[in-house]
Amino acid sequence: MSKTYMALLLLLFWLPEAWAYFTLPGQGQLVLLDGTKQSLQFGFAFTQKNGTQIFQAGIQEVEVAELPDKYTLALVLHQDKQIWVTDWINQPLQGFDWSLGKHSFKLSKNSDPKYKDKARGGYVLLFDQTPYFFHKNMAQIKFHFNKEGVSEIRIEGMFTPGR
């Protein structure tokens, strides 16, 4: 077998694996209960370091055998007065503004009168400009992955008017 043929064969086996890696940056701002603002750097990555596959969510990294199917970010509405997102910060929030790739998320107190009676705790989550409201105290943003990055985002535990 020629060296050129062997090199092409190795390349064919190696390239599909390389295509499966991605980095999806995320940045934003958290609004703490006292109104102060704090920078947020939270994105996702699936990379290889020293021959080991690594999945990263924010600053947390874990060695994995393959790309996880999904990642769940929990939003907890506590006593209808504050939001907890413990994957980001270990203290309650008034809200946040976060961009992840081409998607945007903004959680804040509702200021639109047409949603006054729908917004539990007065909070509304805008996901790519679509409003979502807490159904109960717990909501989840589920990020589903494929080899290019995030393939789907689902909001659970919240509802949007008219859907």
Alpha carbons 134 and 82: distance in angstroms, whole number: 12
Cα separation values, 52 from 66, 67, 145, Å = 10, 12, 19
- 68-120 residue pLDDT tens: 999 999 999 999 899 999 999 999 999 999 999 999 999 998 877 777 777 78
- Residue 3's pLDDT band, with cuts at 50, 70 and 90, is low
In the prediction, which pLDDT does 38 show?
A: 97
In the prediction, which pLDDT does 83 show?
A: 96
Cα separation values, 68 from 12, 37, 42, 54, 161, Å = 24, 32, 17, 10, 32
- 12-62 residue pLDDT tens: 344 444 446 999 999 999 999 999 999 999 999 999 999 999 999 999 999
